């Protein structure tokens, strides 16, 4: 049994089995909650399984491998209608066009309306002054908040600063 964890749909205990985690009522054919232990090459931690069976979304997880051989990062959540574990690539809402979602693209974080009729060109480069911007950093600044203090390097000099969006 997965400690301190109940199925969000039927309040059943969650059992660890060979291929994953299932609600006790899944095995009685009374609930559809079953989480495989790995998805696209990533083995889920107990913490992420607990989030999923509780009806919550995981934080961004890196290292998923697509069928075309490309590594990607995403959050996971369970579909309410059919208990499938699905990928959520959205980091936040686009502050420029207001209708798009910010996603991790191959070389930058950008608006999914980039190729639409809107042609939104909002991007965040993945590094600035030697600092690698994380998913968490992007989430924070897309909410209009200031990041925690970061260490940057420029012209062989180190300095501290914060990340934020500029109008």
**pLDDT tens, position by position, 21-50:** 999 999 999 999 999 999 999 999 999 999
According to the model, what pLDDT value does residue 80 have? 83
What is the spatial distance between Cα 141 and Cα 92, in angstroms, rounded to a whole number?
9
pLDDT tens sequence across 48-63:
999 999 999 999 999 9
- Whether 167 has a pLDDT exceeding 90, the answer reads no
Which residue in 80, 75, 77 sits closest to 102, CA to CA?
A: 75
pLDDT at 116: 87
112 torsion bin: left (phi>0), alpha (psi -120 to 50), beta (else): alpha
Going by C-alpha positions, the residue among 88, 111, 109 that lies closest to residue 100 is 111
pTM for the whole structure: 0.81
Confidence of residue 71 (pLDDT cuts 50, 70, 90): confident
Which of the two residues, 82 and 145, has the higher pLDDT score? 145
Element (H, E) at 109: strand 109-111
Only one residue has tokens 């993945």, namely 126
Please give the average per-residue pLDDT across 101-105, as a whole number. 92
Q: What is the mean pLDDT of residues 125-154?
A: 95
Give how far Cα 69 sits from Cα of 40, 65, 72, 108, Å: 10, 6, 10, 19
Q: In whole angstroms, give the CA distance from residue 54 to residue 82.
A: 15
């Amino acid at each position: 049994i997965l400690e301190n964890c109940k199925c969000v749909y039927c309040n059943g205990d969650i059992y660890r089995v060979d291929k994953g985690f299932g609600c006790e009522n899944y095995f009685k054919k009374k609930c559809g909650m079953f989480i495989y232990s790995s998805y696209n090459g990533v083995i889920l931690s107990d913490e992420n399984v607990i989030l999923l069976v509780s009806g919550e979304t995981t934080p961004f997880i890196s290292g998923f491998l697509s069928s075309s051989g490309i590594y990607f990062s995403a959050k996971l959540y369970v579909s309410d209608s059919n208990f499938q574990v699905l990928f959520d690539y959205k980091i936040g809402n686009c502050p420029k066009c207001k209708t798009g979602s910010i996603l991790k693209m191959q070389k930058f974080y950008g608006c999914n309306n980039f190729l639409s009729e809107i042609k939104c060109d909002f991007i965040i480069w993945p590094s600035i002054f030697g600092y690698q911007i994380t998913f968490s950093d992007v989430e924070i600044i897309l909410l209009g908040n200031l990041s925690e203090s970061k260490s940057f390097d420029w012209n062989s000099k180190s300095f501290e600063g914060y990340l934020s969006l500029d109008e």
